[in-house]
Structure 1
């Protein structure tokens, strides 16, 4: 009887975690570059009541093992890196990536590099392309990309190949900056650190096993689209459906506990 109660508790814990993840997904439905999470379950060890029996020649057939499951646990909480819907903004510093790669941002040259799919960049007072936290967008060196009007630049554009083309006040063109990107064998191995940023881990599998060496968009076989943002990949209809499943699963597991308690009460009342 106690086994069923503990199984119900394990199920409630799992579905509570699932609801937590769903809530976070829904809260970030409009977050630029956000990637949703999903919860995967697995069963816990089973108690063996009877082992399997082998068939005998000309005699009895084989028998299957008899086991009682002991509940469920969380197998993993994965980050799903499917593409989000594009949103056109027509702002030249808004960038999105078509393909599997990440922008590289850092507080400054030589500092720790972080990765993001959120391309809502702006130019600061010194002409650096920065995100909402002031992290600078890196080029292929890697060094911060700077478009400084003090150098006589009057206009600029960013191509699909990530090349930043500038025009100075004499009409001369310059293309000496290319946006650097990073690819990973296992993007789900990246660690979320908040603010739409990811950190490399030992299981992400960075390009050339070097998380500090960027690739060009051409080498990474991706395109960078200026004037467009990648929105969250959260699908509200899917999340609300999963919320119903999680809610009913939680309720069903709580009913296991109340039913087991009722049976235990009947056993206690046998003494009367």
Structure 2
């Protein structure tokens, strides 16, 4: 009886975690560059109450084999994945809004020199003429250096190869080329907040390259990559998780009722 209770508790905890992930996905449905999460379950170890026996011959009588008898002890979380599928592209008409048509990531650097990766390409030119993201992190070029646009730029244009063209005194000049990075296992990246990712022990070594190179993708100016969250999928998963949670609570209440009946036998 206690086994069923603890199995129900494990199921409730797991579905609560699933609802937490779904809630975060829904909250970020309009967050540029956001990558949704997914929870997968697996069963716990099973208690062996009877061993398996192979077919035998006893005194000329053939006896068939017997399967093992096992009782499961609940479920546990197998993984909480981050799905790096490409989100939809939204046109903004703003030159410094950039998206990547491919598998690359923009590189940005914090004030203490720490490097992060992102698909959210909403960039700005700060007061010193440096290209930064919304948190003030510097956008890096192909040489891993901060990109300087300058404070007297009249116009800015960015082509699909990531070259940043600036018009100064009537003349166009290429001031930098955006650097992109890809990974052998992008789903191994860890979320760092602010639509930023950082490397982990399982993401693989950052492979730096240029827009347009194979495996990196082209840069699309005037567009932003939106979240890859599909509300219809999330709401369906939410219903399934809610029903799963309710079913596990029913296992606990039913087990409690049976225990109560056993206690009543003594009366």
TM superposition score normalised by structure 1: 0.93
Q: State how far apart, in whole Å, the 1-side matches of 2:211 and 2:126 are.
A: 24
Note the C-alpha offset of 1:128. Answer: 1.4
Instruction: Find out whether 1:112 has 2:114 as its counterpart.
Output: yes
TM superposition score normalised by structure 2: 0.95
Q: State how far apart, in whole Å, the 1-side matches of 2:27 and 2:156 are.
A: 36
Q: State how far apart, in whole Å, the 2-side matches of 1:202 and 1:49 are.
A: 40
> Which residue does 2:63 correspond to in 1?
60
Q: 1:168-207 counterparts in 2 under 5 A?
A: 168-171=168-171, 173-207=172-206
Q: State how far apart, in whole Å, the 2-side matches of 1:154 and 1:188 are.
A: 40
Instruction: Find out whether 1:97 has 2:105 as its counterpart.
Output: no
Q: State how far apart, in whole Å, the 2-side matches of 1:76 and 1:257 are.
A: 25
Are 2:180 and 2:216, in contact at CA under 8 Å, matched by a contact in 1? Answer: no
Are 2:181 and 2:216, in contact at CA under 8 Å, matched by a contact in 1? Answer: no
Q: State how far apart, in whole Å, the 2-side matches of 1:241 and 1:269 are.
A: 42
> Which residue does 2:211 correspond to in 1?
217
Note the C-alpha offset of 1:221. Answer: 3.7
Are 1:127 and 1:147, in contact at CA under 8 Å, matched by a contact in 2? Answer: yes
Give per-residue Cα distances to partners, 1:13-51, cap 9 Å, x unaligned: 000000000000000011011000010001000001111
In terms of fraction of residues, the more strand-rich structure is: 2
SS of residue in 1 equivalent to 2:249: helix
> Which residue does 2:167 correspond to in 1?
167
Instruction: Find out whether 1:256 has 2:251 as its counterpart.
Output: yes
Q: State how far apart, in whole Å, the 1-side matches of 2:212 and 2:90 are.
A: 23
SS of residue in 2 equivalent to 1:149: coil
Give per-residue Cα distances to partners, 1:206-263, cap 9 Å, x unaligned: 245xxxxx31123344111000000001111100000000000000000000000000
Q: State how far apart, in whole Å, the 2-side matches of 1:188 and 1:265 are.
A: 48
Provide the alpha-carbon RMSD of the alignment: 1.4
The answer for unaligned runs of 5 or more in structure 1 is 209-213
Q: State how far apart, in whole Å, the 2-side matches of 1:178 and 1:89 are.
A: 22
Question: Aligned pairs, how many?
Answer: 263
Q: 1:133 aligns with which of 132, 135, 158?
A: 135
Give per-residue Cα distances to partners, 1:177-200, cap 9 Å, x unaligned: 110011011111111111111111
SS of residue in 1 equivalent to 2:204: coil
The answer for unaligned runs of 5 or more in structure 2 is none
